[in-house]
Structure 1
Amino acid sequence: MDTNNRYSVLLVDDEEDVIQIIVKKLDWEAMGLKIIGHAANGVEALELAEELQPDIVMTDIKMPYMDGLTLCRKLKELSRTIRVIIFSGFDEFEYAKEAIKMDAAEYLLKPVNAGELKEVFERIKADLDRERDEKRNTDKLREYYMESLPVLQESFYMALLEGRVAARQIGKYAKDYQVNLSAPYYVVTVLHISTQSLPEEEREDPFLLAMAVKKYAEEQVDERWNSRFVIYLGDIIMISQLQEKDDLIAYTDEMDRLCRMARKVCNARVTAGIGYLCDSLEQIPFSYQGAKQAVSYRVLYGNTRSISISEVEPGETAELQRVDAYADLIQRIIKKIRVGEENVLQEAIHDFIQWLNEAHLSMQNYRIVMMELISELVRFAAGHDLSIDNVSGTGTDAYHQALQMESTEALEKWLLDLCRHLQREVLHERQDSTKSFVQSAEEYVKTNYADQDLSVEVICKKLNVSAAYFSTIFKKETGKTFVRYLTDYRMEQAVNLLMTGNDKTYVIAEKVGYSEANYFSYVFKKQFGVSPSRYRSDRLEKK
């Protein structure tokens, strides 16, 4: 069986011998399963689960630092689809009752024989197979599509996204089509499916794949967002309703989890572009434009994740653009300046110039087009604290420079130089912003590493960003996850305290942010290969 099609299993037990016995008891490959890792306690298991996204977790109940029941609860918060098997040497009804409450797939008693263990995993695999088949079954997907949103509702959503519904008529159409959109805030999300990166044999029919992702999103997205879904131009569009402005961060994180799980469940690489937050239905097109812009940033931040336009372009505001031919070409130029690739920028400018050559405009209309072009460039530059006239470097305003060009060839060269300069300045600004962002996080760690409650959530609240965006940027800049960086820094401080003072291990543990001395010693030994006390004695002997 192809490794990519096997379900992943994470084993958790504080006794290494138990894990090795379980690993050797079964022919995992023949069962369609693969062991992707093992952990010695619940804290370590939760960190691995966040990184590896296992399908099945088998955990002991009694473990140090975090027991199996607590781990089960936190795993279910991490992913609703994860299957948890709890096994224990304690034959007590209360444990089983708690496991059932937490929706554990199975509860087993030690010692577990090979036959019983195989039956349990086969049962869970069959359940996962049924779930996957339901989501990929062509006939069911076609049937679901025929029974999905009525045509009038879909038409209304698409017209709303494109700004083709007059503000005074939105309420009337919503009532006529039984569409309930009545929240303080709205946000549009574009779920874009990338297929080019998949091998040919793994590519499904694009339409059916979009249907699978749409159905999965409808099932998994939290009810509190009260989202509406429609497939439009190959993408899944969501119109979601938020009660508070601050809900956008939690919403962004949920979209990030949805993208990661869609890769596993639907075999689809999904990027969630999240638009600007708006407070009225007539502003929906503004949010939609922002969502599409956010999707284009996948070239910088990668796919299979959420990207919020308000986080990647905090200095800009949404604006609905005209949709005629030349406006689309201008917007394409602006988009390519943002993305930062010179070759695609040159292509976009060339297409605009070619359109000018073929349009045979009057001088009056030519001036209108140039005014629109320069206005968009000025607006873009202002959003990044740049002056387009300073960029051009002649002292003459850019609009008059454009009108003074003697040919479209000269205009193309001038425009390419101008846009390349803007592109470099924006890239430099983005890099500075990212470095400042990461530096702020690093400085916060250096000042607050002793805080036992310090976590990704705490620092994201401090920086006012989503965990999804923070984690992506932090790892991209430092090469480490935030948890790894925090642990390394705490261990570095622990070594300093060990070598420069006489504090007991439990005192040092508390000073560097660990409430339990035993867990501090466990992490220290994992990092340096010896216990804190042994590390101190070894170094003193060498002096």
Structure 2
Amino acid sequence: MDKYKVILVDDEEEVIDVIERKIHWDMLGFDVVGSANNGVKALELVEKLQPDVVITDIKMPYMDGLELSRRLNNDYQNIHIIIFTGFDEFEYAKEAVHLEIEEYMLKPINALELSDCLKRVKNSLDKEREEKLNVEKLANYFNASLPVLQTNLFVSLIEGRVSESDYEKFLAAYQIDMKGPLYCCAVFHTSEHHVPDGMNPLLLSMSVEQQIKDRIADTWTCQVFTYLGNTVLIIEIASEDAMSELTDACDRFCRWAYRVMGAVVTAGIGRVCDSLLNINNSYEGAREAVSYRVLYGTQRAINIAEIAPKEQKAAVQYEDANMHELIKSIYLGKRDAIEGAVHDEIEKLHRSAQTMNRYKLTLMEMVGTFYRFCANNFIDFDNFSGGISNPYEKVPEMDEVTLTAWLIDTSMAISEELKNARNNTSRRMVTDAQNMIVGRYMEPDLSLDTVCSELGVSNSYFSSVFKKETGKSFISYLTDYRMDHAANLILETNEKSYKIAEQVGYQDANYFSYVFKKRFGMSPSKYRTEHTGNK
């Protein structure tokens, strides 16, 4: 079994060196994966390395151990924390019981005491892991599924099989109390191809569903059930503004599931609707979003309203069942998938068209499907029909080879147009964010949350798009912009460092100096001396 990951945090490097050397980490079941000399750097390492245990001193520059613990408890509640403290700080530290610190240890550190402490922490971690993956518990949960009638109703709703006349009657009969005013659907897909050794894929999926109930359904008012091997959530939404928050919550869960359980989970978020009677449209959007994992990656949440261009408010309707796979492959944009779907359509065409009239009628229906699909996505199909002036007339006259080539070329052209629309939307969003940095870098509270709130997107989606377009995370880009501007002010003015810090959005001059030195390898004062010669 993999060792538990540990990060050491102390502003004295010799303390970290002594701890690393004197503790038999491997024998205890731990691996020191990193160290930091202050709380700010520690948070960066936690985000990157996702440790199980953080061992930290209290007194440190920029951010002390208690503030670090507070941040960890807010954002990474599964991390176990051990605090080192001097005798004169001990009572002060013990007062912070609400931080749920695992252990307090007095300095100087005794190797035997720390080893005993780590054994206790490992027992706690082992119990947590065992509880999550306990086969007997999962089997019992599998047998204790949601009430059958409620599950059947939800399945009927997402399949669009509940009539308007029966809708209210069924909600009352099955005691479904969801008042909205808005609703959306989320689909969680757990991969069967990435399963921890010794774990049954079905039981792993059940474990993921249980954790979804504990971690998401406990925060959001929703109904959870299993359908077609996925976990489906029907969620009450107070307003469309809450969709970004929901997407980020699902995104955090997917990353947590992989790190803690070894489960590769992708969440798809559908569009908002104003009635459970129309939840099937949101469900289709959520399923479509999950299929985009081949483009955007797994272990994350994908919101269909964010990956489609902003102008595409009308969801694609799948009433054209015979071309469902071709339409899906057009969205994904993979040529081999489009070619395969086209060949399947040709095969079905020859298999089902008993007469020439039926053959021509079916091809006309396929042309009509293209027109509807393009109209739903604000595309003029005539621009992508290969120069054919009247497809309804010309396409039924094509031989099989010509028809196959036309279907492939037309599908690829439409797919490229959709891809360009998505890319243009992404670039516009990144440009807006960059302009926001240029105009507001001096504001101390300018942050990822601020920008995403004003752009109306989730943190997870914005972060992935911004890094893809710029090669940097938003925070790194903002920090570099501020530091470059600070460097110019240092060379062009005689302002003190603390004044320049304020002008580029830093209220703490010491932290500004720390970040500046990290970027340029020297303090602001030395930078001025090196580049201007002024003492």
TM-score by length of 2: 0.94
**What is the alpha-carbon distance in structure 2 between the residues aligned to residue 268 and residue 32 of structure 1?**
22
- What is the alpha-carbon distance in structure 2 between the residues aligned to residue 245 and residue 155 of structure 1? 28
- Out of 229, 245, 249, which is 1:250 matched to? 245
One-letter amino acid of the counterpart of residue 141, structure 1 = L
Q: Higher mean Cα deviation, 493-502 or 212-221? A: 493-502
Label 1:491 to 1:50 Cα distance change in 2 as closer, same or farther (>3 A): same
1:256-295 aligned within 5 A: 256-295=251-290
1:309 pairs with 290, 301, 304, which one?
A: 304
For the Cα contact (< 8 Å) 1:315–1:383, is it kept in 2? no
1:380 is matched with which residue: 359, 373, 376? 373
5 Å-filtered alignment, 1:178-189, equals 178-189=175-186
Q: 1:227 to 1:125 in 2, by over 3 A?
A: farther
Residues 315, 376 of structure 2: 8 Å contact kept: no
Q: Which residue of 1 aligns with 2:471?
A: 479
Contact 1:357 1:408 in 2 (8 A): no
Q: Residues 20-66 of structure 1, C-alpha deviation per residue, up to 9 Å, x if partnerless?
A: 22222312222222222222222222233223322222222222222
Range moving further from structure 2, 503-512 or 269-278: 503-512
Query: Equivalences for 1:501-512 in 2 at 5 Å?
Result: 501-512=493-504
1:287 is paired with a residue whose SS is helix
Q: Does 1:63 align with 2:60?
A: yes
> What residue number does 1:95 align with?
93
CA distance in 2, matches of 1:71, 1:160: 46
Deviation of 1:433 (Å): 2.0
Contact map agreement 2:430 2:469 (CA 8 A) in 1? yes
Q: Secondary structure at the match of 1:29?
A: helix
Q: Is 1:532 aligned to residue 530 of structure 2?
A: no
- The 8 Å contact of residues 138 and 208 in structure 1, kept in 2 or not, is answered as yes
Task: Name which of 82, 85, 88 aligns with 1:85.
Answer: 82
Q: Take 1:92 and 1:355, find their aligned partners in 2: how far apart are those partners?
A: 76
The 1:370–1:103 alpha-carbon spacing in structure 2 relative to 1, beyond 3 Å, is: farther
Cα deviation digits, residues 72-92 of structure 1 (max 9, x gap): 222222122222222222444
Pair 1:168–1:57, CA change in 2 (3 A): farther
The code of the aligned residue for 2:335 comes to E
Q: Give the superposed CA RMSD.
A: 2.2
- Cα gap change, 1:52 to 1:397, in 2 (>3 Å): farther
The answer on whether the counterparts of 1:11 and 1:38 sit within 8 Å (CA) in structure 2 is yes
How many angstroms does 1:393 deviate by?
A: 4.5
Distance 1:367 1:188, change over 3 A: farther
**Contact 1:50/1:78 (<8 A) preserved:** no
Aligned to 1:440: 432
Is 1:20 matched with 2:17? yes
How far residue 18 of structure 1 moved from its aligned partner, in angstroms, is: 2.3
The CA distance in 2 between the partners of 1:32 and 1:309, in whole Å, is 42
Structure 1 residue aligned with 2:142: 145
Which residue of 1 is the match for residue 351 of structure 2?
Answer: 358
Question: Could you tell me how far apart the structure 1 residues matched to 2:7 and 2:478 are?
Answer: 24
SS in 1 for 2:185: strand
Aligned-pair distance for 1:223? 2.5
Q: Distance in 1 between matches of 2:355 and 2:73?
A: 64
* Aligned partners of 2:10 and 2:36 also within 8 Å: yes
Output one character per residue of 1:501-531: Cα deviation in whole Å (capped at 9) or x when no partner: 2111111111121111111111111222211
Tell me, which stretches of 5 or more residues in structure 2 are unaligned? none
Bigger CA drift: 166-175 or 301-310? 166-175
Q: Distance in 2 between matches of 1:330 and 1:513?
A: 54
Is residue 2:340 matched to residue 1:347? yes
> What are the residue-to-residue correspondences of 1:65-214 with 2, within 5 Å?
65-89=62-86, 90-98=88-96, 100-196=97-193, 198=194, 202=197, 204-214=199-209
How many pairs does the alignment contain? 532
How far apart are the structure 2 equivalents of 1:69 and 1:141?
37
Amino acid at match of 1:208: L
**1:226 corresponds to:** 221
CA contact (8 A) 2:316 2:373 kept: no
For 1:239, the equivalent position in structure 2 comes to 234
Deviation at 1:247, TM superposition (A): 1.0
Change in Cα spacing, 1:20 to 1:222, as seen in structure 2 (3 Å) is: farther
Distance 1:24 1:415, change over 3 A: same
Which amino acid in the other structure matches residue 411 of structure 2? C
Contact 2:12 2:37 in 1 (8 A): yes
Give 3-state SS (helix, strand or coil) of 2:83's partner. strand
Deviations 1:180-222 (A, max 9, x none): 32221111111112243x4x87474221111111111111115
How far did residue 483 of structure 1 move? Answer: 1.2
Which moves more between the two structures, 304-313 or 111-120?
111-120
Distance 2:355 2:237 in 1: 47
Q: CA 1:361/1:113 → structure 2, altered by over 3 Å: closer, same or farther?
A: farther
**Per-residue deviation at 1:175?**
2.8
Greater shift, 128-137 or 100-109, is seen at: 100-109
Residues 357 and 119 of structure 1: CA distance in aligned 2, closer, same or farther (over 3 Å):
same
Would the alpha carbon gap of residues 267 and 346 (structure 1) be closer, same or farther in structure 2, given more than 3 Å must change? same
Aligned to 1:334: 327
3-state SS of paired residue (1:30): helix
Partner of 1:33: 30
Q: Relative to structure 2, which stretch is displaced further, 386-395 or 498-507? A: 386-395
Report the alpha carbon displacement of residue 257 of structure 1 after superposing the two structures with TM: 0.3
Q: Secondary structure at the match of 1:223?
A: coil
Give the Cα separation in 1 of the matches to 2:483 and 2:384.
Answer: 48
